[in-house]
Structure 1
Amino acid sequence: MNSIDLVSMGIKNLFRRKARTILTVLGVIVGAASIIIMLSLGIGMNKSFEEQLKSFGSLNTIDVRSNSGGYYGDEKDPSGGKVGKLDDAAVKEIEKIDGVDVVMPMSESYIQIYSGKYVTDVNLIGIDASKLEKFDFNVEKGRLIDKNGKYEILFGSSISKQFYNPRSRNRYSNQIEVDILSSKLSAVLEPSYSSDGKKPKGIRVKGVGVLKQGNNEKDWSAYIDINQLEKLKQEAKRKSKNTSDRNKKKSADKYSQFKVRILDVKKVADIQEKIKKMGYQAYSLADGLEYMKKATAGLRATLGGIGAVSLFVAAIGITNTMVMSIYERTKEIGVMKVIGAELRDIKRLFLFEAGMIGFFGGLFGVLISYLVSFVLNSIGISLMGFAAEGSQSNLSVIPIWLSVSSVFFSTIVGVLAGYYPANRAMKLSALEAIRGE
Structure 2
Amino acid sequence: MSLKDQFRFVKQNMKKNKRQMFMTIVATAIGCAFLIVLASVGFGLHKAIIKEMLEGRLVTEIDVNGKENEAGSIDQLTDRHIEYFEALENVKVVTRRQNLQQTPSFTIGEFTASAEAFVTHFPSELKAGFKLSEGRLPEKDNEIIVSHAFSKDLSHKAPDAVAPYHKDGTLKSDFAYKDGVVGKTVDMEVLKINDGQESRAVFPLTIVGVAKKPAKDWLSISNVYISETILQEVEKFTGTPRGNPEKNRAKEKTYDSVKIYTKNAQAVSDILEKLDADSYITYSILHEMKQVNRLFMIIKTGLLFIGTIAIIIASIGIYNTMTMVVTERAPVIGIMKAIGAKPKTIKSIFLLESSYIGFLGAAIGSVVAYGISSLVNFSFPLVFEHVFDETFPEGLLFSYIPWTLTISSMAICFIVTIFSGWRPAQRATKIDVLGAIRREV
TM surpasses 0.5: yes
**Displacement, 1:362?**
1.0
1:87 aligned partner: 78
Q: Alpha carbons of 1:333 and 1:115: their partners in 2 closer, same or farther (altered >3 Å)?
A: same
1:115/1:183 contact within 8 Å kept? no
| Alpha-carbon distance between aligned partners in 2 of 1:20 and 1:262, rounded to the nearest angstrom | 62
Which residue, 214, 217, 221 being the options, matches 1:215? 217
Q: Alpha carbons of 1:407 and 1:304: their partners in 2 closer, same or farther (altered >3 Å)?
A: closer
Task: Report 1:139-288 matches (<5 A).
Answer: 141-142=133-134, 146=137, 153-164=144-155, 173=164, 176-177=176-177, 179-186=179-186, 188=188, 190-191=190-191, 200-212=202-214, 214-223=216-225, 229-234=227-232, 241-242=237-238, 246-247=242-243, 250-251=249-250, 252=252, 254-261=254-261, 272=272, 274-288=274-288
1:354/1:417 contact within 8 Å kept? yes
Task: Report 1:5-404 matches (<5 A).
Answer: 5-55=5-55, 57-67=57-67, 81=72, 83=74, 85-94=76-85, 102-109=93-100, 110-132=103-125, 137=130, 141-142=133-134, 146=137, 153-164=144-155, 173=164, 176-177=176-177, 179-186=179-186, 188=188, 190-191=190-191, 200-212=202-214, 214-223=216-225, 229-234=227-232, 241-242=237-238, 246-247=242-243, 250-251=249-250, 252=252, 254-261=254-261, 272=272, 274-293=274-293, 300-385=300-385, 388=391, 391-404=394-407
2:417 aligned partner: 414
> How many percent identity over aligned positions?
24
| Alpha-carbon distance between aligned partners in 2 of 1:197 and 1:230, rounded to the nearest angstrom | 22
1:44/1:395 contact within 8 Å kept? yes
The residue identity in structure 1 corresponding to 2:401 is I
> TM-score w.r.t. structure 1 length?
0.79
Q: Alpha carbons of 1:314 and 1:142: their partners in 2 closer, same or farther (altered >3 Å)?
A: same
Alignment deviations for residues 52-103 of structure 1 (CA, whole Å, 9 cap, x no partner): 33347345533221256x9xxxxxxxx9937565234434544566775543
Q: Alpha carbons of 1:113 and 1:413: their partners in 2 closer, same or farther (altered >3 Å)?
A: same
**Displacement, 1:23?**
0.7
SS class of match (1:219): coil
Higher mean C-alpha deviation, range 240-249 or range 333-342: 240-249
Q: Alpha carbons of 1:205 and 1:259: their partners in 2 closer, same or farther (altered >3 Å)?
A: same
| Alpha-carbon distance between aligned partners in 2 of 1:172 and 1:253, rounded to the nearest angstrom | 43
**Displacement, 1:119?**
3.3
The residue identity in structure 2 corresponding to 1:382 is L
**Displacement, 1:25?**
0.9
Q: Alpha carbons of 1:27 and 1:158: their partners in 2 closer, same or farther (altered >3 Å)?
A: same
Higher mean C-alpha deviation, range 284-293 or range 419-428: 284-293
Alignment deviations for residues 295-345 of structure 1 (CA, whole Å, 9 cap, x no partner): 566654543333222111111111111111111111212222232333322
The number of equivalent residue pairs is 419
2:145/2:224 contact within 8 Å kept? yes
| Alpha-carbon distance between aligned partners in 2 of 1:30 and 1:390, rounded to the nearest angstrom | 30
| Alpha-carbon distance between aligned partners in 1 of 2:93 and 2:10, rounded to the nearest angstrom | 61
1:53/1:59 contact within 8 Å kept? no
| Alpha-carbon distance between aligned partners in 2 of 1:264 and 1:80, rounded to the nearest angstrom | 35
Stretches of structure 2 lacking an aligned partner (at least 5 in a row): 166-174
Give the aligned CA root-mean-square deviation in angstroms: 4.0
The residue identity in structure 2 corresponding to 1:336 is M
2:144/2:206 contact within 8 Å kept? no
